Amino acid sequence: MERVLDTAALLHWPPQRLAGGVCAPSQIRELEALSPARALLVESSDLVWRAVSTEALEQAKACAKTTGDLPRLSDVDLDVLALALEVNGLLVTDDYRLQNTYQHAGGSVEPVANAPSKQVWIWEQRCTGCGASSAVSSDASRSKKGQLGDCGVCGSPVVIKRRRS
């Protein structure tokens, strides 16, 4: 089974452990921004750099939309998820949203350094005032934090929360 490596593995694992891992070209740009020296080391490692197909990227977005994780995944996260889905590989990541989405799609994950997620969650939009909830909309702002807008019922901020059981 191929291992698809998230940027956390590229940052923290020794080069020997990275050997044979599958990565997206967008990850090297992310790595260069985070650590230029590490990017040079990683580029000389025995990695498989694979372009992400449009079909796999659309599948990744659909999976992330189903779980409600889409607004909180970056473009690089979506590339990594798309590769994992495309090769049906082991996704190596500490990102709990990536783990959640990939496990929900039936994939296997391995953490880089942190403990793996224990549950698969579905997220929803919830008003901080009146508690009104709905599925996370596909046009929700894609950022790691912050509110999604104002509630149509009471005007309070709407945030992403784990769906109540």
Q: Are the beta carbons of 43 and 131 closer than 8 angstroms?
A: no
pLDDT at 122 (0 to 100): 81
pLDDT at 142 (0 to 100): 57
pLDDT at 134 (0 to 100): 85
In a domain, 142, yes or no: yes
- In terms of residue numbers, what domain contains 41? 3-110
- To the question of pTM greater than 0.95 for the whole model, the response is no
Instruction: State the CB neighbour count (10 A cutoff) for residue 112.
Output: 17
What does each C-alpha distance from 141 to 10, 62, 76, 125 come to in angstroms? 28, 16, 16, 12
**Residue found by looking up tokens 């994780």 in the block:** 69
| Residues 72, 150 within the same domain | no
Structure tokens given for 32: 């260069």
pLDDT at 94 (0 to 100): 93
In a domain, 66, yes or no: yes
Residues of the chain with pLDDT under 50: none
| Residues 15, 91 within the same domain | yes
Rounded Cα distance, 7 and 26, in Å: 10
Q: What phi and psi, each to the nearest 5 degrees, are found at residue 124?
A: -140, 160
CATH number at residue 76: 3.40.50.1010
pLDDT at 76 (0 to 100): 97
